[in-house]
Amino acid sequence: MPTPGHSQELQTPAPIEPQNTQDNSSLEEVKKRIEEMIAQLPELQKLKDQVLMEITGEGLRIELLEKENSHFFDIGSANLKPETRKILHLIAQELGRLPNRVAIEGHTDSRPYGSQGYTNWELSTDRANAARRFMDTAGLRPNQVYTVRGFSDRLLRNRQDPLDFQNRRVSIIVMFQDPESAVPQSMMPPKALMDGGDNAKAASLGMSSEIGAAALSAPSRRPSPNLPPAAPGEQNPTQSPGPDNNLRQDLEQELKPIKPQIRLGW
């Protein structure tokens, strides 16, 4: 509702720009450059159809999909093939120039693998982590990788055929930037505390600025908890005149100019 006495035009909210518009454009450029570089390298020509990139709700998703006769890892292990290292090197060089965080996922098909001690869960996680280790040294910025995840066969690319080789893949997600990702929301202090001043002190106590300022400047005048409530027509002993009450009033006058010092921290 408009505030009385102010122009309604000045209070009209500014139009909200579509989220991630600039980020989306930047990721589209990265996608285009990676596609061009892979197409220009003869040794990677046979793999270009196995590198799929698309913009999703998370950001730019880069998927390295295996085929029946073309693999990115040695069979049954997390050892990177030489061609895989070249592709990951190109990707890391491009992503290292971005401020965006990166997530890396490992996926398998539904073929039973290994023993009870080493299954598709371990294999998918180890392959994602192997890609992370190599990309960390090939161009990603320190701490750019946000998470490494192994999904086994729980997120099949081809649900109609759980044994399809394309279900065996490593996914690299370049996440859209979060304006507040630099400091987790749970660690952010209330805005009033960041502004400083009496309002900040009041906010730290959970009070409005007017009530907070009064509470901070006024001395406590609570009655003694041991005294019974005064009967109608009677004065509470703390309010009756006398030496003790005069002394109390003198102390209040002396302490009144002193403002409590509150140290904030989180």
Tokens matching residue 29:
């450029």
86 vs 213, higher pLDDT: 86
Distance, in Å, from the CA atom of 266 to the CA atom of 260, rounded to the nearest integer, reads 19
List, in order, residues 6 or more apart from 76 with CB less than 8 Å away. 113, 114, 123
The whole-angstrom separation of Cα 132 and Cα 170 is 10
Residue 254 has pLDDT above 90, yes or no: no
Residue 46 DSSP class: G
Distance CA(12)–CA(77), nearest Å, equals 60
- Against a cut of 0.75, is the pTM above it? no
Structure token pair of residue 200: 């900040």
> What domains appear along the chain, each with residue ranges and CATH number?
24-175 (3.30.1330.60), 189-219 (no CATH)
Q: Which residue has the tokens 């009144």?
A: 256
Q: What is the pLDDT of residues 5-20, one digit of tens each?
A: 544 444 444 433 445 6
Average pLDDT of every residue of the chain: 74
Report the alpha-carbon distance of residue 243 to residue 75 in Å, rounded.
94
